[in-house]
Amino acid sequence: MKKILFYVFAAMTVALAVATFVNVRAADNQTMPAVGQTAPTFTLPSQDGSPVSLDSYRGKWVVLYFYPKDMTPGCTIEAHNFQRDLSKFEADNAVVLGVSVDTTDSHKQFCTKDGLTFKLLADPEHKVVDEYGSLGHFGPMTIANRNTFLIDPDGKIVKEWTKVDPQHHSEEVLAALAELKK
């Protein structure tokens, strides 16, 4: 009997490992919207619960950044740097929108704790994260991969970054924005 249980357990472990691998690979092979394409539109709730629609930002540059988890070290660094540079983005007629699979309550805590004043959008159903090819996994958790899309005032994606370095990303986006505005 112990031998049978051992084999059943071993088979279940292998099946789970294969399912996890397939799930992670599927997330890695998502299709992102391409540079030059119209950015997929969406409406998501922000940290205060109000709906935010991408369409409402026509006429402005939009920095749409996806990040894994509120109040984690890398995500906090990235958010702080966007907050630090927010007046520079605003001077360039740009808005910063952060998106994760966290809830509005989590975003509200993150913004309050870290003094963030730009919009963090909640996508707990993973619809927008998936549509932008940014759905990922960290162990058993579903997260947003750290990707950013720069959208021009006409609603077209003009630049994208994948697997960004949160330490220097805000400066990279500002530099790209300055170059594109020339």
- Give the strand pairing for 148-151 and 157-161: antiparallel
Known catalytic residue: 111? no
Catalytic residue among 63, 75, 128, 174: 75
Residue 44 burial by Cβ neighbours in a 10 Å radius (0-12, 13-18, 19+): buried
Do 95 and 55 form a contact (C-beta atoms < 8 A)? no
CB-based contacts of 79, cutoff 8 Å, min separation 6 = 67, 98, 110, 114, 116, 120
Terminal-to-terminal C-alpha distance of the chain: 74
**Residues annotated catalytic, as ranges:** 75
